[in-house]
Amino acid sequence: MTETVPKELQAKGKMDAALPVEHTKPGIVFTPAVDIFETEKEITLLADVPGVKTEHLTIDLSDDVLTLTGEVKPLEGPDEEDILIEYEVGNYYRQFTLSELIDQNKIDAQLRDGVLRLTLPKVEKATPRKITVKAG
């Protein structure tokens, strides 16, 4: 198989979040990019949330709705003057409705290098089982 050259990344602006309720704190809120994939045993969610520290990340799961909230503090010092500003810094917010039955006690969350990995194991009985049909 020929070796593929990695394609060049395109610069994409961050998308503003369309919030269902008004937010009371001032500031911009962005929608983080996520990958969601599902295996037989679990659903994994990976979200790009650069600049969020572990203590500023809130993950809520209630009524099958998963809510991610991350707070970001700008890193610029008070004496710094802008020369070129290409991206804005703001908080992250995203909500998902989960379709499968998730075992809420076994949810695992890891935040590393600005990427959140959320592992949501499915409840045992939701994993598909093959039922063999015996010829009568």
Stretch that binds other proteins, among 30-38, 102-110, 118-126, 127-135 (CB under 8 A): 30-38
- By beta-carbon proximity to other proteins, the closer residue of 10 and 134 is 10
Q: Provide the 10 A C-beta neighbour count for residue 6.
A: 6
For residue 107, the one-letter residue type is: I
Q: How far apart are CA 33 and CA 60, in angstroms?
A: 18
Does position 11 interact with other proteins (CB under 8 A)? The reply is yes
Q: Which of residues 41-80 bind other proteins (CB under 8 A)?
A: 43, 46, 48-53, 75-77, 79-80
Q: How far apart are CA 118 and CA 59, in angstroms?
A: 9
Phi-psi region of 45 (alpha: psi -120 to 50; beta: other; left: phi over 0): beta
Burial class (CB in 10 A: 0-12, 13-18, 19+), 49: buried
- Smallest distance from other proteins to CB 80, Å: 4
Q: Which of residues 93-132 bind other proteins (CB under 8 A)?
A: 111, 113-115
- Interface ranges with other proteins (CB under 8 A): 5-13, 15-16, 26-28, 33-40, 43, 46, 48-53, 75-77, 79-90, 111, 113-115
